């Protein structure tokens, strides 16, 4: 008979996430538990994630986190095991996948190999119900992509992506130019409060008639902010920090939301999902809500707990595959640090 309860392991970066879900006969997927152990604090003194430390932390956290997730769900043995196989840090992925295969072999249950990016999309079903057909805008420090989501059980289709910097990367770089610290998103967001977003006409990258409609470019915007600050300094003018931050933020939110809404119209999707760290941006959320309402599109931005890495992402995809009757992977399925959608 088809598996019902699936345990999922996420270990692509610095969070060891383990979750369990139950696939109901109608196809609804219920989240039974979702436990995350983070090694973030161990990396803080190095100013970024140290892959070797992350791998070792996963090794230490994996078994106790699986134990806790099973206990919280009240499950002794799931019917299937799933794990993120990529994209992510090679060593970190290996720990989670080797562990998952070990559990699958020991319990004699099937193994499902999961794409981390699909997980970021599929997890939205735990906050607001069914998702597809939808368009997903993934905006983080490493990714800026528009995806068409016809189903959560099948591969997603990339409509476009950034040709240079990711949106979060642009925030981090502009924060550095403004002397605001790291990570840049939250500090620029805060600095923009009360600023005039129309004060400076920063460029909207990739919006010309000949540009790919769903690709993005943010490096010109970053350069334009740098030139603006240099010019002001050379002229001895004081810079209105709030105006620069608000105008920069407006340029990013304008391009992201206009392209996302157009992608919904082009694909006939009635929902727009926004995921990744930049989904926390206040102006992006505001403008997306405004433009989605005007276009008759339902906007879905999952609560922050579901936007960061966790095991719920893994069981969201695995559950969808099980509900759709998709075949499991073999235990030979390899990790793929550079995996695409
Ligand atoms: O998805 P995420 O947590 O992780 C990785 O990409 O690894 O995204 C982090 C990114 C950072 O670049 C951060 O500056 C950005 O999300 N970010 C924001 C905000 N909060 C976080 N960007 C704009 N506005 C925010 N409020």
Q: Determine whether the shortest distance from the Cβ of 277 to ligand 1 is under 6 A.
A: yes
Distance, CA of 111 to CA of 81 (rounded, Å): 5
Q: What's the 28 CA to ligand 1 centre distance in angstroms?
A: 30
Atom index in ligand 1 nearest the CA of residue 143 equals 6
Tokens encoding 58:
């996963």
Hey, which residues does 136 pair with through a beta bridge? 147, 273
Q: What's the 140 CA to ligand 1 centre distance in angstroms?
A: 5
pLDDT single digits (tens) 220-238: 999 999 999 999 999 999 9
Which structural domains are found in the chain, ordered by start? 5-127+306-323 (3.30.420.40), 134-301 (3.30.420.40)
Q: Determine whether the shortest distance from the Cβ of 171 to ligand 1 is under 6 A.
A: yes
**Structure confidence at residue 182 (pLDDT):** 76
Tokens encoding 252:
């990013």
pLDDT single digits (tens) 134-189: 999 999 888 899 999 999 988 899 999 999 999 999 999 999 999 998 788 999 99
Cα dist from 112 to 103, 132, 134, 314, whole Å: 12, 21, 24, 9
Residue to mutate, 14, 54, 140, 192, ligand 1, most ligand atoms under 8 Å from C-beta: 140
Q: What's the 141 CA to ligand 1 centre distance in angstroms?
A: 5
Q: What's the 276 CA to ligand 1 centre distance in angstroms?
A: 7
Hey, which residues does 272 pair with through a beta bridge? 135, 299
Q: pLDDT truncated to tens, each residue of the chain (341 aa)? A: 678 999 999 999 999 999 999 999 989 999 999 999 988 888 878 877 899 999 999 999 999 999 999 999 999 999 999 999 999 999 999 999 999 999 999 999 999 999 999 999 999 999 999 999 999 999 988 889 999 999 998 889 999 999 999 999 999 999 999 999 878 899 999 999 999 999 999 999 999 999 999 999 999 999 999 999 999 999 999 999 999 999 999 999 999 999 999 999 999 999 999 998 899 999 999 999 999 999 999 999 999 889 889 999 999 999 999 999 999 999 999 999 999 98
Q: Whose CA is nearest to atom 10 of ligand 1?
A: 141
**Structure confidence at residue 194 (pLDDT):** 95
Tell me: cis bond preceding 87? Omega within 30 of 0 counts.
Answer: yes
- Strand ranges inside the chain, DSSP E: 5-10, 15-23, 29-38, 80-86, 111-115, 134-139, 144-149, 157-161, 271-275, 298-300
What's phi and psi for 36, nearest 5 deg?
Answer: -125, 130
Q: How many CB atoms lie within 10 A of CB 233?
A: 11
**Structure confidence at residue 39 (pLDDT):** 86
Atom index in ligand 1 nearest the CA of residue 172 equals 14
Q: Determine whether the shortest distance from the Cβ of 275 to ligand 1 is under 6 A.
A: no
Q: What's the 31 CA to ligand 1 centre distance in angstroms?
A: 25
Question: What residues form the annotated binding site?
Answer: 116, 120, 138-142, 172, 185, 189, 281, 309
User: ipTM for the complex?
Assistant: 0.97
**Structure confidence at residue 49 (pLDDT):** 84
What's phi and psi for 158, nearest 5 deg?
Answer: -80, 125
């Amino acid at each position: 008979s088809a598996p019902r309860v699936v345990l999922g392991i996420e270990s692509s970066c610095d969070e060891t996430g383990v979750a369990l879900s139950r696939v109901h006969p109608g196809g609804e997927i219920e989240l039974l538990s979702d436990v995350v152990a983070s090694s973030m604090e161990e990396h803080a003194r190095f100013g970024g994630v140290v892959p070797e430390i992350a791998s070792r932390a996963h090794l230490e956290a994996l078994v106790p986190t699986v134990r806790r997730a099973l206990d919280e769900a009240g499950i002794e043995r799931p019917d299937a095991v799933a794990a993120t196989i990529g994209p992510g840090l090679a060593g970190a992925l290996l720990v989670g996948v080797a562990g998952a295969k070990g559990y699958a072999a020991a319990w004699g249950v099937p193994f499902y190999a999961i794409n981390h990016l699909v997980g970021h999309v599929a997890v939205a079903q735990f906050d607001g119900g069914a998702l597809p057909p939808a368009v997903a805008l993934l905006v983080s420090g490493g990714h800026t992509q528009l995806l068409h989501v016809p189903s959560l059980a099948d591969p997603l289709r990339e409509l476009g992506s950034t040709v240079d910097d990711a949106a979060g990367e642009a925030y981090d770089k502009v924060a550095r130019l403004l002397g605001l610290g790291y990570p840049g998103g939250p500090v620029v967001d805060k600095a923009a409060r009360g600023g005039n977003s129309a004060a400076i006409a920063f460029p909207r990258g990739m919006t010309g008639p000949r540009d790919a409609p769903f690709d993005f470019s943010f490096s010109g915007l970053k350069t334009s902010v740098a030139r603006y600050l240099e010019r002001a300094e050379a002229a001895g003018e004081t810079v209105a920090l709030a105006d620069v931050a608000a105008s920069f933020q407006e340029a990013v939110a304008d391009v992201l939301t206009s392209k996302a809404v157009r992608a919904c119209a082009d694909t006939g999707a009635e929902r727009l999902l926004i995921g990744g760290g930049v989904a926390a941006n206040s102006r992006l959320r505001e403008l997306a809500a405004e433009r989605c309402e005007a276009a008759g599109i339902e906007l879905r931005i999952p609560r922050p707990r579901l936007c960061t890495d966790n095991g719920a992402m893994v069981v969201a995809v695995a559950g969808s595959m099980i509900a759709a009757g998709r075949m499991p992977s073999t235990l030979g399925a390899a990790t793929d640090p550079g995996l695409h959608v």
